[in-house]
Amino acid sequence: MTTIGDLLTRDLSRKIEEIIQVDQADGQSVYDEITEYIATDSIREQYRHLLKAVADAPGDPHESVGVWVSGFFGSGKSSFAKNLGYALENRTVLGRKFADLFKQQLEDTDVSDLLDLINASTPTEVILFEVAKEADTRKVTQRIAELMYTVLLRELGYSEDFDISQSWKSNWRPKASCLSSSPPARHC
């Protein structure tokens, strides 16, 4: 007798994550997440809108840079943000460029064209984190900007103590090899 499992190409016996974690970065999990991603027309429109803004930003720079993703539990915030971040940075996942996997799933010419333009013209490094996981419950007055700055300091290898990192940065001078590096090398 033929079962539903026999008709499907996906392995139904594997563990399926209940929620997407933006910091879960192992290749197989990320690959499974993007290849199983289903974008609604509304989500495609949001990606189009956001990628258009990113593509236009170098020609019209301003201080209003940032994206806040909000919604109800289970509405797809983490998937949206993680996919956007991976696509902008165009990380390699199991030997494939993430942007190619993303474009394949979205099946949207405008999104594909915008993403190709961004990936070709704007080298991007993305720092993904979940505010709820990073927030220090002992610091109830901590502002979101301070939290983001703390995560940035950690990713750059600086002390997360503002006083120490500020002192170090004010005394730091770039190496000669870093002055001509575009974009700056990670060690700069």
**In the predicted model, is pLDDT for residue 77 greater than 50?**
yes
Residue type, position 134, single letter: E
pLDDT tens digits, one per residue of 115-133 = 999 999 988 888 887 777 7
- The answer to whether residue 142 sits within a structural domain is yes
Does residue 183 have a cis peptide bond before it, meaning omega lies within 30 degrees of 0?
A: yes
Q: For residues 170 and 21, give the distance between their C-alpha atoms in angstroms, rounded to a whole number.
A: 35
For the beta carbon of residue 115, count every other beta carbon within 10 angstroms.
25
Q: Are residues 90 and 54 in the same domain?
A: yes
- Whether residue 168 lies inside any domain: the answer is yes
Residue 182 belongs to a domain? yes
Co-location of 93 and 151 in the same domain: no
User: pTM higher than 0.85 for the full model?
Assistant: no
- For residue 58, what pLDDT is reported? 85
Expressed as residue numbers, the domain containing 20 is 10-128
Q: Is 4 among the domain residues? A: no
Q: Say what the pLDDT of residue 20 is.
A: 67
**What is the structure's pLDDT at 143?**
79
Same domain? 44 vs 112 = yes
Look at the chain and report how many structural domains it folds into: 2
| The pLDDT of residue 177 | 46
With 0-12 CB in 10 A as exposed, 13-18 as middle and 19+ as buried, what is 170?
exposed
Report the percent of the chain where pLDDT is more than 90. Answer: 30
Q: What is the mean pLDDT of the chain?
A: 79
Is 5 among the domain residues? no
- pLDDT digit string, tens, across residues 16-59: 666 666 667 778 888 888 888 889 999 999 999 999 999 998 88
